[in-house]
Structure 1
Amino acid sequence: MIRALVLGLCAAAVLSALFCAVLIPLLRRAQIVDVPVDRSLHSVPVPRGGGIAVTLASVLAVVVAPAAAWTQGGFANFWERFAVVAIGLATILAFAVLGALEDLYSLPSLVRFQAQLGIGLLMGIAVCLKAGAPLWLALGIAACTAALVNVTNFMDGANGLTAGHGVVTAIWFAVVSLTVPLPGLGLLMVPVAGACLGFLPFNALKARVFLGDTGSYALGGAWSFCASLCLLEGVPANAAVAPLLVLVVDTGYTLWMRVRAGQRWYEPHKLHVYQRLVTSGWPHWGVALLVSLVAGLCSAVAFWDLRDGELSLLPVALMAVVLLVYGRVPAMIGAPSPFHKARGLR
């Protein structure tokens, strides 16, 4: 099994890098570029749609890894593995297609949101059937999926952030798969980690291509699938969402502070914690590293409960401290607060 996972990781990384190298000039030629606006953290047009490379590499490597695993391990748990891989791949592909349509045509927000809910609902029904859970839970999964896809998209604004976080998150869910165990989840997630890893050289230091909505939607859908499956299969709640909390907390904290300050919370902005760090002078790679570090720390702490199989107070408290410190980093480095004008907040 380990050999199959390593094969999937390496295959995805190589394929992702190759696809990026081929894709970048094609995107430029087709004028599929992200033009800087007021809320952007980049200053020159950059091709978007690199998520196509990440998605294709993940899908192809996911086929390689299970084939190797099933060759080594026979057909033990074949259908259980197949169900997990099939549902996960379908979710990733569906959200990637939706993201690609958004990259190309800028869909109306209502159409986009309805599509996110629809894909989330279908995924939720499939996960509930797989886990033997009540089907009404699919409604909650659909809402959470749409929210998480958008949160992942909101956080995809600094070079290397989403892909670096993706490496940590995918590896964590592979660890969950091997520890619980959840057959098939590791075979799906390790190639996703490899694909994100292969994308980083084209995005982390000097962005030659962005993931675009294609990539952020696909990854957001993947994370929602993993978290939903883990929760319904009895994984402790903090372990099921550990690396995702930094994305949710950054977005939620920013929204809460904007509402308290009397700002128009629904308008585009660049007031996320990570954005404030970049505008304060932090390099993109430093901010991406911080987000990945926070995700990794939360996951490491959650392993305590993952190993024991039950939720406990101390790991939850430690994770809360890590996330609280992350939210206060801009204030700790003396970054000017954009929230204090209306209410004196910082």
Structure 2
Amino acid sequence: MSPLLALVGIVALGLSLALPVVVKPLLKRLGVIDIPNDRSSHSTTVIRGMGVAVAVAILVALVLSLATGLVSVDRSLIAIILCMVAAAATLGWIEDFRGLSIRVRASAQLLVGAVGTVALATTIDDSSYWWVPVGAIAVATYINAANFMDGINGISGMHGVVVGLFYSAAGVLSDQLWLTVAGLVLAAAFAGFLPWNLGRGFVFLGDVGSYLLGATIAAIAVTGLLAGVYLEYLLSPVLIYLADTFTTLVRRARRGEPLYIAHRQHVYQRLTDTGLGHVQVSLLVTVLSALTGAAGFVSATAAAPLAVSASLFAAAVVALYLYSPRIFRALARRRAAADA
């Protein structure tokens, strides 16, 4: 690791660790708090909006990577990602502070994705404009996936760390320094948030943080796809999040339930209902995401038999996750029967 790359990572980590000292009392004075609802996995009001600190850490670190000359090739890609991330985080902050209608939120998310993808297509390859609708939908989809999945302590911070590390490794393997830098910054910034989210007097990311997480991952993924990075590198670390979100929405749609109403039907939420703690579930989601990520990295470049085996392994991991609440519920019943 070069000294400049290490410096950028340390700045992202350090700012994310230190800024909450200032941001937390400010959020308290502004009354930015999370009030438990039907979707909540906590029972007390908690300060939210700490994603502001993580956003500043990511944006400063990305600017530093440009200012120091660390990223001298494909500088515009980092700049576009930076703008997309800043726009999404701002949207999330408005949602935290004032609230927005579903229509306005969805339109703004699609706009961030569309404008960002147009800028990327213009920079990378003018023939890629047909990707604009795909990019818009991808960004909006993952912003909402990250928002839906941000319901227990540790899960978003760990997700940012694991996806960031995989993306950084993908940059090394693809010889694309911008991707190495962006992935490292993502991982370091969310690693710095974890002590605040898991420690005593914990705080939440809020919409500003979940929008930030989703937009950063989606912006990096869309950029990587247009830049020729293997799809498996970009998609495999986020399969668990996507599978949980998609299957939950399908299940609720089949029941005729309004998709925008708060609920506790996600797989990770049902896992906490089996008796597992927040950190246990967050670790499970993270480990399984790491397994699908590793499988994707293998399948991207391996010979056909090994690639197929890796893909089947990733599918089995996703299936195991989706079925896991039943497994842990059965184990809990057996323990209860044994203790009776």
Equivalent position of 1:73 in the other structure: none
Equivalent position of 2:95 in the other structure: 102
Match of 1:184 among 158, 178, 181: 178
Equivalent position of 1:288 in the other structure: 282
The worse-fitting range, judged by mean Cα deviation, of 223-232 and 157-166 is 223-232
> Shift of residue 312 of structure 1?
3.6
2:108 is the alignment partner of 1:115: yes
> Shift of residue 335 of structure 1?
6.4
Contact kept, 8 Å, 2:167 with 2:233, in 1: the verdict is: no
2:58 is the alignment partner of 1:58: yes
Equivalent position of 2:324 in the other structure: 329
**Closer, same or farther: CA 131–207 of 1 in aligned 2, 3 Å:** farther
AA aligned to 1:44 is: T
> Shift of residue 209 of structure 1?
1.3
Equivalent position of 1:236 in the other structure: 230
**Closer, same or farther: CA 307–175 of 1 in aligned 2, 3 Å:** farther
TM-score, L = length of structure 2: 0.90
> Shift of residue 265 of structure 1?
4.1
> Shift of residue 234 of structure 1?
2.8
> SS where residue 334 of structure 1 aligns?
helix
Q: Deviations over 1:159-211 (max 9, x none)?
A: 01011100011111111111112231222221221110111001025562111
Structure 2 gap ranges (5+): 332-340
Equivalent position of 1:19 in the other structure: 19
**Closer, same or farther: CA 305–293 of 1 in aligned 2, 3 Å:** same
Q: Name the CA distance, whole Å, in 2 between partners of 1:187 and 1:236.
A: 17
The worse-fitting range, judged by mean Cα deviation, of 310-319 and 47-56 is 310-319
Contact kept, 8 Å, 1:160 with 1:205, in 2: the verdict is: no
The worse-fitting range, judged by mean Cα deviation, of 244-253 and 187-196 is 187-196
Q: Which has the higher contact order (CA 8 A, sep 6+)?
A: 1
% of aligned pairs identical?
Answer: 35
Task: Please tell me the root mean square deviation across aligned C-alpha atoms, in Å.
Answer: 2.1
> Shift of residue 307 of structure 1?
4.4
Contact kept, 8 Å, 1:168 with 1:292, in 2: the verdict is: yes
Q: Deviations over 1:86-144 (max 9, x none)?
A: 01111110100000000011111111111111111011112222331421211121012
The worse-fitting range, judged by mean Cα deviation, of 242-251 and 61-70 is 61-70
Matches within 5 A, 1:89-238: 89-132=82-125, 133-206=127-200, 208-238=202-232
Q: Name the CA distance, whole Å, in 1 between partners of 2:40 and 2:242.
A: 20
**Closer, same or farther: CA 153–325 of 1 in aligned 2, 3 Å:** same
> SS where residue 219 of structure 1 aligns?
helix
Q: Deviations over 1:219-273 (max 9, x none)?
A: 1111111211222233332222111111110011112223344544443211100
Q: Deviations over 1:278-321 (max 9, x none)?
A: 12221111111111111111111112134459994222211111
Q: Name the CA distance, whole Å, in 2 between partners of 1:207 and 1:318.
A: 39
Q: Deviations over 1:17-54 (max 9, x none)?
A: 11112211211122110011222111111111111000
Q: Name the CA distance, whole Å, in 2 between partners of 1:308 and 1:95.
A: 36
Contact kept, 8 Å, 2:113 with 2:135, in 1: the verdict is: yes
Contact kept, 8 Å, 1:254 with 1:272, in 2: the verdict is: yes
Matches within 5 A, 1:278-317: 278-308=272-302, 312-317=307-312
